[in-house]
Structure 1
Amino acid sequence: MKFISWNVNGFRAVLKKGFEEIFNELDADFFCLQETKMQEGQADFHPEGYYEYYSYAEKKGYSGTAIFAKEEPLSVTYGIDGKHNDEGRVITLEYDDFYLICAYVPNAQNELKRIDYRMEYEDDLRAYMTELDKVKPVVYCGDLNVAHQEIDLKNPKSNRGSAGFSDEERGKMTELLASGFTDTFRYLQPETTGVYSWWSYRFNARANNAGWRIDYFIVSNRLEPKIKEASILTDVYGSDHCPVSLVLE
């Protein structure tokens, strides 16, 4: 099974930048999007052979997630146990053998002014994933808005304490992994440096590869033997993020 996750930073915008061609070329079984920035009916994209699931933020032009799946799920859930659904951040698809969660994790914002909400979200999400994991394995993906370790961003010293690299956010990622989950990219490439999934639009960051690895596929520990590939597709353009991929046996 092949999974793709991509923060497109505006689905309508990326549709004008060759998204359909990229989508077809990657040929994933599951294609997850974050930051779609749209409302229902605003994007005309209906790939043949896929089921479509969208979650929209109440605020127009903000947040939002989507999943395109070749196989119809047993069930579809939006939000986290009835919470955190007003910004369209979480979609869960249930299948016979696993749950797939696509998420766009809230940014803590400048001066960490939204850090309290971010911590609440992280705790609720971890509890939700832990409960699902008791039933069947979980595949969790998306823009998780945190570089976990210093190896995960170009300039860790100057960014220490900033949104996405605060001790609080990094600590929540550590808690999540310690509760029974695996960062698939680091599982296969524990020492790899200089591979990132997001670059600021400022200061020629992408050209200089001054990036952050904040997009992930995280799976239940018992899926580790099934991880065949976990990649960051840095040659794909169209957003300030690039897609990340996972192949499970």
Structure 2
Amino acid sequence: MILISWNIDSLNAALTGTSERAEETRKVLSQIHDKQPAIIAIQETKLRATGPTKKHQEILTAEFPEYDYVWRSAEEPARKGYAGTMYLYQKGLKPKVTYPEIGAPTPMDQEGRIITLEFAQYFVTQVYTPNSGNGLKRLSERQEWDKKYLEYLQKLDNKKPVLASGDYNCAHEEIDLKHPDNNHHSAGFTDEERTGFSQLLDAGFCDTFRKINGNVTDVYSWWAQRVRTAKANNSGWRIDYWLTSNRIADKVNHSEMIDTGSRADHCPILLDIDL
């Protein structure tokens, strides 16, 4: 079974935009569709609280006719059009869909950050982890989020195995970013965030990319848009992950990045697992 996860950086721009970047994003969506994944997880949809517009729905139906979809957007008191997540899944699948609140600091639970699909033998869940922000102004709230998210995954894992994906906004080890020495006080690579991710793995979850690919270097999932040379120089970070419960990690066949050419920001990540 193939599953793909991607922080798309605005679904509206991807579906209805006219810029060169929007065209690049649509090409990536086409790449994803061509791989015929069973499930597609999308983060940072940036849709309004009422979800996809009629136009969005028409385009999704035309471009992904084999898929049903569910979504979760930011709601008050969260900022409008902020964060948000979506799943597309093949129509033969009939998951139970939940939109959990994990007891995170306000308004994180209202930012549309988690959707979970429950199947007979396993859970599939995605997350768009809060960024600690400029000047690490949200770091303390981020640490509380990490604690609550871990508790949530453990509750799922106690019932049945878990496949978890998303933008975790954390490069776990020094080999997970190009310039670790310059970034120990940057959001996404602080000691606090890395410790939080270590605790997640120590609780019984596997970073499937590292399990399959070992300590390979210079493979990333995000390159800063604001730095024009970042993608060309492969000056990136690996902050997007497919995790599984340890007890099904040996069923993973592939865990890899999907090449997006010159397009910066996040690239999709693919998991091939025998379930």
Give the TM-score taking structure 2 as reference length: 0.86
**More displaced stretch, 72-81 vs 185-194:** 72-81
Q: Which residue of 2 aligns with 1:118?
A: 142
Is the deviation greater in 58-67 or in 79-88?
Answer: 79-88
After TM superposition, give the deviation of residue 121 of structure 1 in Å: 1.0
Verify: 1:29 aligned to 2:49, yes or no. no
Any idea what the Cα deviations from partners look like across 1:94-143, whole Å, max 9, x if unmatched?
00111011110000011211011111111111011111101100001000
- Name the counterpart of 1:97: 121
Alignment partners' CA distance in 1, 2:154 and 2:10 = 31
CA contact (8 A) 1:197 1:234 kept: no
Structure 2 counterpart SS, 1:135: coil
Match of 1:218 in 2: 243
Establish whether residue 243 from structure 1 lines up as the match of residue 268 from structure 2. yes
Letter of the 2:8 partner, please give it.
V
1:1-249 to 2 correspondences below 5 Å: 1-15=1-15, 16-17=22-23, 18=26, 19-39=28-48, 40-42=51-53, 43-44=56-57, 45-46=60-61, 47-58=64-75, 59-70=79-90, 71-81=92-102, 84-201=108-225, 202-235=227-260, 240-249=265-274
Contact preservation (8 Å) 1:197, 1:213:
yes
Query: How far did 1:241 drift?
Result: 0.5
The one-letter code matched in structure 2 to 1:223 is: I
**Matching residue's letter, 2:86:** A
Out of 107-116 and 21-30, give the one that drifted further: 21-30
SS in structure 2 of the partner of residue 216 of structure 1: strand
Q: What do residues 27-73 of structure 1 show as CA deviations (whole Å, max 9, x unaligned)?
A: 11000000011121332312222120101012222100001011434
Give the structure with the larger helix fraction.
2
Structure 1: 4+ residue segments shifted above 6 A: none
Counterparts of 2:99 and 2:261 in 1: how far apart (Å)?
28
Aligned equivalents of 1:236, 1:60: Cα separation in 2 = 31
> Which consecutive unaligned segments of at least 5 residues does structure 2 have?
16-21
Letter in 2 for 1:6: W
Quick check: 94-103 or 23-32, which moved more? Answer: 23-32
Distance across 2 between alignment mates of 1:78 and 1:222: 25
Any idea what SS the aligned residue of 1:212 has?
Answer: coil
Separation in 2 of the partners of 1:241 and 1:74? 27
Bigger relative contact order (CA 8 A; separation at least 6): 1
What percent of counterpart residues are identical? 39
Question: In structure 1, what is the Cα distance between the partners aligned to 2:186 and 2:232?
Answer: 22
Q: How many residues align?
A: 249
Code of the residue aligned with 1:146 in structure 2: it is C
State the distance in 2 between where 1:237 and 1:101 align. 29
Provide TM-score, normalisation by structure 1.
Answer: 0.95
Deviation at 1:219, TM superposition (A): 0.5
Cα 1:125/1:179, change in 2 over 3 Å: same
Alpha-carbon deviation of 1:7?
0.4
Aligned-residue CA RMSD (Å): 1.6
The 1-side partners of 2:199 and 2:177 are apart by: 20
Residue 236 (structure 1) shift: 5.4
Amino acid at match of 1:233: I
